[in-house]
Amino acid sequence: VQLQASGGGLAQAGGSLRLSCTVSGSISSIKSMGWYRQAPGKPREMIAVITSGGNTNYADSVKGRFTISKDGTQKMVFLQMDRLKPEDTAVYYCAASVVPTAVSVARDYWGQGTLVTVSS
């Protein structure tokens, strides 16, 4: 199982960026997908999660500004980031709770990070 994230880059404060993540491999089901971020000197934090049923959960710091969604294949997850702030600068990681075809329990998988830099 692999996760491939893309879409990071540089944005000005107040601007927008959209992150994408694709889950691939031998998958039986995906329980949930989400985005996390880690700023320099800080621990990794959950930003947004979406379940297989479409329920979403957001960190308070991004509520009303970020939107998580997934496509019809249920193997792509997106993070639309609007009204960006300099404090949103971090490496963003996608993650998924996946049941691989070879096993019957869900495991957590992580993608490589993508850097988001917001200038003031």
* Cβ proximity of 5 and 35 under 8 Å: no
The tens place of each residue's pLDDT in the chain, 120 residues long, gives 999 999 999 999 999 999 999 999 999 999 999 999 999 999 999 999 999 999 999 999 999 999 999 998 889 999 999 999 999 999 999 999 999 998 889 999 999 999 999 999
Query: Would the CA dihedral through 74, 46, 18, 108 be positive or negative?
Result: negative
Distance CA 19, CA 33 (A): 13
